[in-house]
Amino acid sequence: MRTTFHLKTLAVAIATLSVASMTNAAGLDRSGQDVTAFFQDGTYAEAVYTYIDADVSGYDSANDVPTNNTYVRGEKTGDIAESYDFFRYGVKADINDTFSVGILYDEPFGASAEYTGDSNFVAQNDRDATITAISGGAIGPNSPLGVNSFAQAQGTVNALQGILANGGTLTPQQQGALTALAPAVAITQAEFDTAGDNTKVEVRSESVTALLGMKFGQNKNFQVYGGPVAQRIQADTALRGTAYGPATGYTSHMGPDTDYGYIAGIAYSKPEIALKAALTYRSEIDHDAKTFESYPAAPILSAGALPANQSGTIEVTTPKSVNFDFQTGINPTTLATAKVRWVPWSDFVLTPPLYNAVSKSSGRYGDDGLNLVEYDDDQWQVELGLAKRVAPALAISGTVGWDSGAGDPTTSLGPVEGYYSVGLGAKYNVTENWAVSAGGKYLWFGDAKGQLPTGKLVGDFQDNDGYIAGLKLSYQAK
């Protein structure tokens, strides 16, 4: 005899798991781009608030020489992860028993980090100490070049550049001194000019997805769905401190840009056992955003070919993704769920034009130069959950999750390699149609080394964690 789990008996349990679920650590992933609101029965609407507080700290590298990639444990960085919050909204309605429409809003991608304290991710004002550190002792006390201070190095550079400016020529020894001293002076001055400033990054995005679904099959068990996606993104980055070598003092502002992509998927449902399964694809979205960059050391590093400030356009492609959502009734009061997400972060790069041009001018990084942000691996995420109706209007839920991260070493602006998580949630039906859900999740972040685009290791981040809290208000009429 077949067991039938009427969906109404499980309705109080459905959606308790998504309050604080699929919130990510890999790459710039945040919301998980959840679409499960569209699969709810009848007319449905939800508003979800999520708050994330992470503790990400470690040690900088005591090796400040830009051309030496060896990591040497240095000073504590303090907590670099900024707490942040975001909203998600969804509305869905059935036109008839075949067609459904929906609108979803979320904030899919983002980053928020800032270094504070006395680590070498914060610009300092001691020019003699800075130039000694970045030169590996070649400039400073007991200098093999005979240059013992920043002032002496700057005076030498000014004198040699003056000879060239007046049409003179340099001896091989003078040219060697200029080649060695000029970058060190430029880096040190850029550090001094931004003294007290912190390294920080802020990325924000918004997305609106319109969905049209069509059910088919003998019992309308199958559904295809899709629609356009509008996405807006902006970013600010400031690199400070000797950790960034020639790039210390670099600042970029990517203005807000809106562009479009699409979503498509297929779903299957079997209401008698509360089974729903959906496979959803989101396309890449290409942005051409106006950007302003400031790179104080650029003129000297490029031998005068590049400016210190530049406005232009940056091309950014947010990654495609695939989500698999599954739920099924285990018994008339218990629901099991599974979520799997894949994002190819290994395809993502952020390449500001001036930053890239300076790296090309050095001749050390090939014809393509350096990207400011890139990742080695694709992200995989899995989350499993159970929801149990414990009273006519109350259900509780639990989840366990794993996120692969996007590689280690990774960018110093987000030094985490995935996480493991556990979560708890509850949903209370205030009336027949209105419900309130609350949930929380604890995360153990994977250890990671922070790495510059040059390959230099500048930080080691271990034993970090965080938590997520969420609140949802939902309405459903069947």
Mean pLDDT of 293-316: 92
pLDDT of residue 438: 93
Q: What percent of the chain has pLDDT over 70?
A: 95
pLDDT digits (tens, 9 = 90+) for 210-257: 999 999 998 999 999 999 999 999 999 999 999 999 999 999 999 999
CB 405 within 8 A of CB 418: yes
- Looking at the DSSP bridge assignments, the partners of residue 211 are 102
Tell me: pLDDT of 205 over 90.
Answer: yes
pLDDT of residue 157: 86
Mean pLDDT of 334-355: 93
pLDDT digits (tens, 9 = 90+) for 75-109: 999 999 888 888 999 999 999 999 999 999 999 99
CB 165 within 8 A of CB 227: no
pLDDT of residue 1: 41
Tell me: pLDDT of 168 over 50.
Answer: yes
Tell me: pLDDT of 145 over 80.
Answer: no
Amino acid at 265: G
Confidence class for position 19, pLDDT limits 50, 70, 90: low
pLDDT digits (tens, 9 = 90+) for 429-463: 999 999 999 999 999 999 999 999 999 999 999 99
Confidence class for position 20, pLDDT limits 50, 70, 90: low
pLDDT of residue 415: 87
Tell me: pLDDT of 395 over 80.
Answer: yes
pLDDT of residue 25: 64
CA angle 430, 436, 441 (to 5 degrees): 150
pLDDT of residue 67: 87
pLDDT of residue 235: 94
Tell me: pLDDT of 307 over 90.
Answer: yes
Tell me: pLDDT of 302 over 80.
Answer: yes
CA 172 from centroid of its chain's CA atoms: 47
Q: Which of 14-18, 302-306, 387-391, 448-452 has the lowest mean pLDDT?
A: 14-18
CB 4 within 8 A of CB 272: yes
Average pLDDT, the chain: 89
pLDDT digits (tens, 9 = 90+) for 247-285: 999 999 999 999 999 999 999 999 888 899 999 999 999
pLDDT of residue 26: 72
Q: What percent of the chain has pLDDT over 90?
A: 63
| Ordered domains of the chain (ranges, CATH) | 7-123+194-477 (2.40.160.60)
